[in-house]
Amino acid sequence: MLAQQRQAAILDRVRAAGGVRVSELAAEYGVSDMTIRRDLESLADRGLLAKVHGGATTVSPGSAHEPGFAAKSVRQRAEKAAMAMHAASLVSPGDAIALSAGTTTAGLAQRLVDVPSLTVVTNSIPVADVFYRAGRPDQTVVLTGGTRTPSDALVGPVAVAAIGTLHLDMLFLGVHGMSERAGYTTPNLMEADVNRALVEAAERLVVLADHTKWGTVGISSIVPLERADTLITDDGLDDQARTLLEETVPELVVVKAQ
């Protein structure tokens, strides 16, 4: 197992159990205690967990805490890949779509680089870079201007103004969290403004949110749960949340992580 894969697995363990011990992880993965300590130090440096004597625990960020793009990219990789695969099946040649910022939408972008005559609007630098690197000449990629956030999103009045005159077929929206009370949320106030502008510009709203987003609440609401036409999540979602979402969202798609 590569170090990056092991660290992603360790992070999943911490999130599920609330804490882990170095000795247990070393035995489980067949590596030395020192290797596990280096893994935990790497994850702690990225703000993904808190190191304690003999192990690590989860961190409890506030509602305005915004992890960086690199930090989020190691989380729930299998779930994000499965969600992106389903989302890509909704896109047809010639569509005009928007992709919000986030690691899940960046994964979706990688699955859309071969769609003919696609127009993509995004406020995400990594998403735009995926399409630019692919270089398909019949695709049009529009990157909004704005102020860059820790998650590599472009936000602020420049971005909102750029989106305001557009009419799009579909928006694929990644979110920081979702809850019954707050709906879909983000930890960045200006990013919420941009996301709401994208929602208004699109005929159809597709939200991509893995099971760990349930119960997480960012400082600013984007739209209520029922505003999404389709919510794509994974089978790690608990039964109670699934029942509530089935009753609230017009279409709930639950994918199986590979």
Residue 91 DSSP code: -
Residue 71: per-residue pLDDT? 47
Taking the CB of residue 243, how many other CB atoms lie within 10 A of it?
12
Closest alpha carbon to 131 in 85, 79, 121: 121
Write the secondary structure of 126-172 as one string of H (helix), E (strand) and C (coil): HHHHHHHHHCCCCCEEEECCCEECCCCEEECHHHHHHHCCCCEEEEE
Tell me the pLDDT tens digit for each residue of 124-174: 999 999 999 998 999 999 999 999 987 788 999 999 999 999 999 999 999
Query: How far is it, in rounded angstroms, from Cα 4 to Cα 9?
Result: 9
Query: How far is it, in rounded angstroms, from Cα 161 to Cα 205?
Result: 20
Taking the CB of residue 129, how many other CB atoms lie within 10 A of it?
16
| pLDDT confidence tier of residue 109, bands split at 50, 70 and 90 | very high
Residue 68: per-residue pLDDT? 52
Tell me the pLDDT tens digit for each residue of 48-67: 777 877 888 876 554 444 55
Query: How far is it, in rounded angstroms, from Cα 54 to Cα 21?
Result: 6
Output 249 or 217, whichever has higher pLDDT: 249
Residue 224: per-residue pLDDT? 96
Tell me the pLDDT tens digit for each residue of 73-99: 445 678 889 999 999 999 999 999 999
Query: How far is it, in rounded angstroms, from Cα 80 to Cα 5?
Result: 15
Query: How far is it, in rounded angstroms, from Cα 147 to Cα 153?
Result: 8
pTM given for the model: 0.73
